[in-house]
Structure 1
Amino acid sequence: MSSIAASVFDAVSVYAQVSDPTPEPPPLADKIDQFLRYATWLAILSGTISIIVAGAKFAWEKWSGGGMESPKMVAGAMIGGVVATSAGTIMNTVLSI
């Protein structure tokens, strides 16, 4: 009976020593961060360009009297921008659960 208690005590003491490791960045973490910064920049640039194009199309449709499809484009670009800029927050929320 005492050998079982000693084994349990040894297992618990080993687990207590291993349970708090110090974090360390993975290999190539700086390259991944740089890629994510470039992707963020590209998402912001594409969102800005899409809103400008949708606004120009909206003005053209208003001036020429054509069908009004551009408000949908503006709304889509704005919703896409909100999702793209909040991606980090969404992932932090999902991964912290």
Structure 2
Amino acid sequence: MSSLLLAVHDTYGTVLAQVRNPSPQAPPGSEKFMQLVGYLTWFVLLSGICGIVYAGGKFAWEKWSGGGLESPKMVAGAMIGGVVATSAGTIMTALIGS
């Protein structure tokens, strides 16, 4: 059994050693898609800024009126979401990357 596994390992090792590692390239016509991704990134950043401004205003209102404080969670959520959104490319490169 071990000799069979060794033979399979050698065969696949030889085959995989002959496969080259291609460098990633954008497919033809991907300029419009990349423009859409840029627009979506801009919208996510704008949404995060609006969320932080809204949560800041709500925080001031809650402090002034003496109500419960929910807005610090909103600020933290918007900031964490912004960090993840702006570093999405870096995260994907780290997970998939070469």
How high is the TM-score relative to the length of structure 1?
0.73
Indicate the RMSD between aligned Cα atoms, in angstroms.
Answer: 2.2
Q: Aligned residues: percent identity?
A: 62
Q: Does 1:61 align with 2:45?
A: no
CA distance in 2 between partners of 1:45 and 1:21 (Å): 36
Q: Does 1:44 align with 2:51?
A: no
Label 1:23 to 1:96 Cα distance change in 2 as closer, same or farther (>3 A): closer
How many equivalent pairs are there?
A: 81
Q: Secondary structure at the match of 1:25?
A: coil
Following superposition, the deviation at residue 25 of structure 1 comes to 3.2
CA distance in 2 between partners of 1:38 and 1:25 (Å): 18
- The match for 1:96 is 97
Label 1:51 to 1:66 Cα distance change in 2 as closer, same or farther (>3 A): same
**Structure ID, larger Rg:** 1
| Structure 2: segments with no counterpart, 5+ residues | 1-17
Write the deviation string for residues 13-36 of structure 1: whole angstroms up to 9, x where unpaired: xxx8x9587875313210111011
Letter in 2 for 1:78: M
Letter in 2 for 1:36: V
- The match for 2:77 is 76
- The match for 1:9 is none
How high is the TM-score relative to the length of structure 2?
0.73
CA distance in 2 between partners of 1:22 and 1:85 (Å): 24
What stretches of structure 1 move > 3 A for 4+ residues in a row?
18-25
